[in-house]
């Protein structure tokens, strides 16, 4: 899509996102558990009845800080955050998508794999993003940031991601805990697929792909705030982002994955609702462009067992009829 926004304006959005992400990282550091001192009460609550989806005081305070700063700088823009309550208000064409603390459970337990993610989109198309992650010897950490067609940076310096021309069986990648139940490697590819890790934070894992630390990432069970910024970073660092077709009209060469385009296919100015942006996102595959097609051809979606049984019953009934 041709984005009718001035390049300088988009770069300014990126620069502000970078500044805000670094500030969010400093704020998170104040809450993070120090193994050498007494842990502070994060006032953990849960967004679900089963106690599986935690939220802390740090999540809420960073969300409030980011929202207030964005409103000051861009009063006409929309904001959608993981910790926001609004679901039905109409949304402007430019939207900031926030995950104040990605990897909350890691953060709660003092495991330093977490992130703060800020993505920006125009009419559903990702145009800029910034992700803070903690990093050794960097206080409080690093911010990887990018904007559409302007390349990727790390702490405001050009990022030079190592070029990956072919899949290395000794490289590492990240996959979700649900991978084995939902996906499968092609049998001949499995031994060449590399060593898998589970980081526990989607934005964190996408940052590692942009940095060239991991060879690829499979993302599942995500929402827009988890992935929007990371898609911009990966794409602008020489990579590609593919989405599971899930039966939609987009088709890739493999019939399983297609290029990630717009968040909302038919964006209507003044009519698109916040609720349209709070739905789950189909699984994603992210890697450098030279290897993404090979991965897409060899990482396959398992057939839903319920659908498989239904198909079998239907097939048997059809045979019986004839």
pTM: 0.88
pLDDT of residue 151: 96
Lowest mean pLDDT among 44-53, 167-176, 304-313: 304-313
Is position 321 within any domain? no
The predicted model gives 133-140 an average pLDDT of: 94
Q: Residues of the chain with pLDDT > 70: what percent?
A: 85
pLDDT of residue 144: 98
Kindly report, residue by residue over 140-175, the tens digit of the pLDDT: 999 999 999 999 999 999 999 888 999 999 999 999
pLDDT of residue 306: 56
- Residue 15 and residue 137 in one domain: yes
Is position 302 within any domain? yes
- Residue 128 and residue 212 in one domain: no
Kind plus residue range of the DSSP H or E element containing 121: strand 115-122
Residue 137 has pLDDT above 50, yes or no: yes
pLDDT of residue 244: 85
Distance CA 183, CA 74 (A): 41
- Residue 182 and residue 148 in one domain: no
Lowest mean pLDDT among 72-81, 204-213, 242-251, 272-281: 242-251
The predicted model gives 303-307 an average pLDDT of: 59
Is position 319 within any domain? no
Query: For strand 195-197 and strand 54-55, is the pairing parallel, antiparallel, or unpaired?
Result: unpaired
Residue 2 has pLDDT above 80, yes or no: no
pLDDT of residue 86: 61
Q: Residues of the chain with pLDDT > 90: what percent?
A: 59
The predicted model gives 231-259 an average pLDDT of: 74
- Residue 151 and residue 11 in one domain: yes
The predicted model gives 273-281 an average pLDDT of: 87
Distance CA 174, CA 287 (A): 11
- Residue 210 and residue 153 in one domain: no
**Local structure of residue 162 (DSSP, 8 states):** P
Q: What is the CATH number of the domain that holds 62?
A: 3.30.540.10
The number of folded domains in the chain is 2
Lowest mean pLDDT among 91-105, 204-218, 282-296, 297-311: 297-311
* Residue of 2 and 62 predicted with greater confidence: 62
- Residue 240 and residue 281 in one domain: yes
- Mean residue pLDDT of the chain comes to 86
- Residue 13 and residue 100 in one domain: yes
- Residue 235 and residue 136 in one domain: no
- Of 89, 123, 158, the position where a domain reaches its end is 158
- Residue 131 and residue 202 in one domain: no
Residue 26 has pLDDT above 60, yes or no: yes
pLDDT of residue 254: 41
Residue 247 has pLDDT above 50, yes or no: no
- Residue 110 and residue 214 in one domain: no
pLDDT of residue 140: 92
Full domain range(s) for residue 25 = 7-158
Is position 249 within any domain? yes
pLDDT of residue 87: 57
Residue ranges of the alpha helices (H) in the chain? Answer: 7-31, 57-73, 104-108, 179-182, 202-211, 224-236, 274-277, 289-298, 305-321
The predicted model gives 234-242 an average pLDDT of: 96
- Residue 203 and residue 257 in one domain: yes
- Residue 153 and residue 213 in one domain: no
Distance CA 64, CA 3 (A): 29
Kind plus residue range of the DSSP H or E element containing 185: strand 183-185
pLDDT of residue 269: 86
- Of 158, 185, 214, the position where a domain reaches its end is 158
The structure tokens listed for 114 are 């977490």
Is position 266 within any domain? yes
The DSSP-derived string for 30-99 is HHS--TTSPPPP---EESSTTS-SEE-HHHHHHHHHHHHHHHHH-TTSEEEETT----SSB--SEEEEEE
Q: What is the CATH number of the domain that holds 188?
A: 3.40.190.80
The predicted model gives 111-132 an average pLDDT of: 96
Residue 308 has pLDDT above 90, yes or no: no
Q: Phi/psi at 283 (nearest 5 deg)?
A: -55, 145
The structure tokens listed for 234 are 């990966």
Look-up of token digits 């990126």: 14
Distance CA 217, CA 240 (A): 11
Kindly report, residue by residue over 181-210, the tens digit of the pLDDT: 888 898 889 888 999 999 889 999 999 999
């Amino acid at each position: 899509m041709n984005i009718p926004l001035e390049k300088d304006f988009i770069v300014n959005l990126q620069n502000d996102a970078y500044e805000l992400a670094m500030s969010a990282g400093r704020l998170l550091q104040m809450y993070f558990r120090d193994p050498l001192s007494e842990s502070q009460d994060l006032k953990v609550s849960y967004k679900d009845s089963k106690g599986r989806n935690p939220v802390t005081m740090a999540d809420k305070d960073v969300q409030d800080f980011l929202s207030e700063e964005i409103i000051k700088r861009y009063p006409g823009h929309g904001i959608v955050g993981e910790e926001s309550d609004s679901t039905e208000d109409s949304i402007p064409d430019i939207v900031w998508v926030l995950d104040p603390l990605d990897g909350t459970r890691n953060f709660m337990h003092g495991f330093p794999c977490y992130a703060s993610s800020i993505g920006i989109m125009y009419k559903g198309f990702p145009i800029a993003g910034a992700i803070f992650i903690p990093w050794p010897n960097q206080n409080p950490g690093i911010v990887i940031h990018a904007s559409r067609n302007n390349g990727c940076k790390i702490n405001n310096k050009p990022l030079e991601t190592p070029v990956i021309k072919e899949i290395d069986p000794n490289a590492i990648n990240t996959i979700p805990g649900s991978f084995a139940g939902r996906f499968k490697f092609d049998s001949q590819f499995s031994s060449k697929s590399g060593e898998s890790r589970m980081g526990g934070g989607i934005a964190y894992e996408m940052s590692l792909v942009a940095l060239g630390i991991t060879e690829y990432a499979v993302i599942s069970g995500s929402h827009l705030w988890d992935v929007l910024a990371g898609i911009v970073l990966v794409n602008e660092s020489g990579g590609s982002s593919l989405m599971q077709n899930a039966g939609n009209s987009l088709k890739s060469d493999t019939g399983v994955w297609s290029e990630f385009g717009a968040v909302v296919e038919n964006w209507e100015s003044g009519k698109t609702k916040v609720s349209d942006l709070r739905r789950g996102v189909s699984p994603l595959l992210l890697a450098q462009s030279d290897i993404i097609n090979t991965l897409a051809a060899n990482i396959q979606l398992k057939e839903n067992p319920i659908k498989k049984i239904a198909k079998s019953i239907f097939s048997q009934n059809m045979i019986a009829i004839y």
